[in-house]
Amino acid sequence: MGHLTVVDGDRIHPTNLNRQLPALLPDMGRLKAEVMAERLLAVNPALDLAVFPEYVKDQRMIEILESRPFNYVVDAIDTLSPKIYLLYHCVNRSLPVVSAMGSGGKLDPMRLKICDISQTYQCPLADVLRKRLHKLGVYTGIQAVFSPEPVPEHAVRATEGEPNKKSTVGTVSYMPSIVGCLCASVAIREICGQKVESDLPVPASVRKKIQQMKACF
């Protein structure tokens, strides 16, 4: 990868220590995007790297997507609204995109699946995303990494003092890394010309809607 863009407005927090590569005690409070930029350039000093240490939404998201020609977009946002609009703007611009669904509360990596978002099932985040994207006219065209494994009630805790989160879900160390590796595999394989496809069924209602949309063009 000769060109890379990193967008993240979050800062390293003690709760990240068990599972995030840049999360080390000396770097607590630093911007994750800046720490990752240092690491990426330490691996490859010749990397053409653009770093946006900010939360993006609305017009700013469009500006970044149009700032350079992207071959692939990897979505790992954990806040619903910007996640939806990133996926929406990628589909509208015919930008290939793979989206990570939730890994909180999941333990079995063998249950992870890669498929079009229309084929996801038994995943609360994917379910909400599908419904919201349908309202925006998007039914397919997004690769998703998800797990149908149920989240146990004891893994969920109410959150206080955080405006964007009503609850938090405990996350085991290895699951986010595996989800990230699967997302990377989709991006790299498709950039190299190998179409990643799933044999999971597409719901009949979605097939019908896609056919109707094709007939309009």
* Residue 178 belongs to some domain of the structure: yes
Number of structural domains (the chain) is: 2
Q: What is the mean pLDDT of residues 179-204?
A: 93
The four Cα atoms 206, 210, 211, 215 give a dihedral, to 10 degrees, of: 150
Is residue 101 located within the same domain as residue 44? no
* Residue 5 belongs to some domain of the structure: yes
Is residue 86 located within the same domain as residue 123? yes
Secondary structure class of 114 (helix, strand, coil):
strand
Is residue 113 located within the same domain as residue 178? yes
* Residue 63 belongs to some domain of the structure: no
- pLDDT for 200-210, tens place per residue? 888 887 777 76
Which of 90, 51, 50 is closest to 72 using CA atoms? 90
- pLDDT for 120-138, tens place per residue? 999 999 999 999 999 999 9
Quote the domain boundaries for residue 91.
Answer: 72-215
The pTM assigned to this predicted structure is: 0.89
CATH number at residue 184: 3.40.50.720
Is residue 92 located within the same domain as residue 41? no
Is residue 81 located within the same domain as residue 119? yes
Is residue 121 located within the same domain as residue 211? yes
Is residue 115 located within the same domain as residue 22? no
